[in-house]
């Protein structure tokens, strides 16, 4: 489970390095590198989440008892589902950003700000 949170941290930290514009080749290179890392982190996180969704892991969560947290196994499973949805959105966003770099770099700023990636970046 801790590996999952390490990669979530890496992903969130990475989002602050998304360039605000693609005015220079250096900005485009940074953007491509960030997108490549986003794909890698989302892929790794999806694998980790799927490993935690297996029946054996969920049974272990149900058997563990934490008195302070009611229905905590269900809450953990729900958190993984929400994280999985976020990863799907980030993956789609990264693909859109790749297309913008190749075809319409002048639209970068508006596309980034309209996407989940941009919203997360603003919160950091």
- pLDDT tens digits, 13-54: 887 888 888 999 999 999 999 999 999 999 999 888 887 766
Q: Cα 16 to chain center, whole Å?
A: 13
pLDDT at 117 over 60: no
Which residues, other chains included, contact 123 with Cβ-Cβ below 8 Å and sequence gap of 6+?
Answer: none
Q: pLDDT tens across 55-111, in order?
A: 676 666 666 656 666 676 677 778 888 888 888 888 888 899 999 999 999 999 888
pLDDT at 118 over 70: no
Looking at residue 114, what DSSP letter applies? H
pLDDT at 114: 72
Q: Please give the torsion angle defined by the CA atoms of residues 108, 36, 43 and 19, in that order, rounded to the nearest 10 degrees.
A: -40
The radius of gyration of the chain from alpha carbons, rounded to an integer in Å, stands at 17
CB environment 51-67: b (16+ within 10 A), e (fewer): ebeeeeebeebeeeeee
**Reported confidence tier of residue 121, pLDDT bands at 50, 70, 90:** very low
**Where are the domains positioned within the chain?**
2-123
In this structure, the chain runs to a length of 124
């Amino acid at each position: 489970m801790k590996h999952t949170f390490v990669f979530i941290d890496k992903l969130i930290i990475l989002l602050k390095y998304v360039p605000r514009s693609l005015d220079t080749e250096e900005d485009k290179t940074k953007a491509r590198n960030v997108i490549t890392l986003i794909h890698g982190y989302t892929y790794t996180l999806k694998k980790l989440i799927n490993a935690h969704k297996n029946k054996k892991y969920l049974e272990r969560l149900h058997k563990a008892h934490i008195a302070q947290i009611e229905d905590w196994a269900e809450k953990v499973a729900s958190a993984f589902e929400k994280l999985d949805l976020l990863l799907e959105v980030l993956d789609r966003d990264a693909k859109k950003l790749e297309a913008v770099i190749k075809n319409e770099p002048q639209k970068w700023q508006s596309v980034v700000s309209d996407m989940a990636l941009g919203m997360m970046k603003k919160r950091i």
